[in-house]
Chain A
């Protein structure tokens, strides 16, 4: 662009021209003075025609050094190879303008980040006569942006890693099947739930939002066990517990649980993790071991009783036989004495036979309930009455039997049981015995004199009552011990095994026996069978 003076034609024209010149000069000046933008005029081939202060500042070339040179001198070799300068001109030519951001080269070879707009300039006919090229140095912004991007990328990568890790962790917890892992809020409401929890407790995601106390038995809830455990975890960090828990279907399992309090960075409680392991099988195995140990202990006690039998009750007739034999030898010439003591020897031998039979009966009682069938106690009583027909007639006894239930049990053992009880009632009643047998269903709380360890359930109670000599209340337990006789052997024959046998039979049927009496007022024997209404 030339700023040579145009000769004046007239004052008006001169004024106009002068105004135009001034305007162009201002314009020129403005462009020349702009420091923040490199504003360059290129001809149609990209050769630099004009150069401003901004261009000098940004690109470090003086005007004289660049005028007439191709503008590609500002481009990096790789961009030149890539034909970027030509491409930009073509775009500007075709679209009117081209914008681009990229690294450019200063005179000293250092780089700057330029934001470039190339605008095509046309003559009145629309032909391209050149280009204006405005470049802004955005290096600082670029660096800041790059740093920002880098930081963002780093964060993104970190985030991705964390997400992956958290996902893996979640997945891991979700997939664990052997442990129920549950997240609780500070009030004990369920927030999260894994596959193990579903497997062990039977609930699926519908449980979320419920309080975790649904897993506890009614009894544990009543004694506030869930709250106690949370409180303990809250104050001590964690709480362990082993006990029966309830599944969705109401069945129970033996759970080992650890509740751990969870805190945020400030130390405030945000909830609890609860890990539960189903140890039912282990518990069952342990229980079986305990039951086995108890069984062994019981058998051991019985063996001890047998040892006592052999040392005492079986020795007694033997000792007497030897003594009586000696007396007979000393009195060989006295037939009356000889005959009397032969008789005594006979009685001792007979007593010994009975003892051995009873002990054998006792030891042969089969255990377990494998042979259990439905037994009609009415039939049993009919049989027992038939067995004692003679004795009942002899003693002028009355036996009153109410309607009795059908129970699960061993037929032979139950016959033996009621036979012993009826025999006892008849034996210990001297005149006109009245034996009453009746039954009812009772709850544990209705049982008088019930043993301590009796299981809470419904029982069938069968009462065998007599109007006989009775016994002191303090012997109510003792009478069921082997060889415990309350009465003189002379007056009431017996081996001392009958009631011990009854007790054992009832224990075989998971029941128990109690007795109450007062001397002279008859005796009541109560037999309790667990109420298992049998299938017909």
Chain B
């Protein structure tokens, strides 16, 4: 799942996943509240990976991360922060709140594809 208010970034993210494996299913949410609706639905969505943008309207990435951490059925999901900014304090804070890693949005599709492959390989090889 990708939670990001930027539709360009949603599109780029989908393209990168397509390049890795066209079988990967990705649910998009434009903000934290919309994402939580889906994650807390009667038939809840249980993604393997959740990527959260930092700078979002209504509920910022950090608040969204905290809410997701409260959900029992998502205990096994790997949650990543996914943002343009690379502020040290934000990185530390998100990791302290339970994010697996803080991924800085790379300048290019190939770079993003490569980054995501690394993430999946690493998590798969645990």
Contacts and interface: CB of A to CB of B under 8 A. Distances in A.
B6 A489 contact: yes
B95 interface: no
Given A326-B108, A326-B110, A316 B84 contact: yes
Contacts of A316: 84
Interface in B73-120: 84-87, 105-110, 112
B7 A490 contact: yes
A224 to B, nearest CB: 47
Given A308-B85, A312-B84, A323 B108 contact: yes
B109 A326 contact: yes
A361 to B, nearest CB: 21
A327 B57 contact: no
Given A326-B108, A326-B110, A488-B31, A320 B8 contact: yes
A483 B57 CA distance: 11
B30 A327 contact: no
Contacts of A330: 109
Interface string A43-59: 00000000000000000
Contact of A319 (B7, B30, B107): B107
A330 B18 CA distance: 14
Nearest to B30: A488
A70 interface: no
Contacts of A110: none
* 3 nearest A-B residue pairs (beta carbon): A312-B85, A319-B107, A322-B107
B106 A319 contact: yes
A293 interface: no
Interface in B1-22: 5-9, 12, 15
A493 interface: no
A318 interface: yes
Contacts of B110: 326
Contact of A308 (B87, B108, B109, B112): B87
Contacts of B5: 488-490
B55 to A, nearest CB: 7
Q: Which DSSP category, helix, strand, loop or mixed, fits chain A's interface?
A: helix
Contacts of B109: 323, 326-327, 330
B58 interface: yes
A346 interface: no
A311 B85 contact: yes
Contacts of A312: 55, 84-85
A483 B107 CA distance: 21
Contacts, number: 51
B12 A323 contact: yes
Contacts of B55: 312, 483, 485
Contacts of B7: 490
Nearest to A486: B57
23 contacts: A308-B85, A308-B87, A311-B85, A311-B86, A312-B85, A315-B84, A319-B105, A319-B107, A320-B8, A320-B9, A322-B108, A323-B12, A323-B112, A326-B109, A327-B12, A327-B15, A330-B109, A344-B8, A483-B55, A486-B57, A487-B57, A488-B30, A488-B57
Interface string A478-501: 000001011111100000000000
A431 B60 CA distance: 28
Contacts of A322: 107-108
A212 B87 CA distance: 58
A327 B85 CA distance: 23
Nearest to A492: B57
Contacts of B84: 312-313, 315-316, 319
Contacts of B58: 472, 486
A489 B55 CA distance: 11
Nearest to A313: B84
Contacts of A323: 12, 107-109, 112
Nearest to B83: A312
Contacts of A490: 5, 7
B87 A311 contact: yes
A308 B90 CA distance: 12
Contacts of A318: 107
A311 B86 CA distance: 8
A171 B95 CA distance: 75
A489 B6 CA distance: 7
Contacts of A326: 108-110
B24 to A, nearest CB: 19
Quick one: which of A326, A327, A348, A483 has the most chain B CB within 10 A? A326
Contacts of B105: 319
Contacts of B12: 320, 323, 327
A303 B19 CA distance: 40
A319 B9 CA distance: 10
Nearest to B109: A326
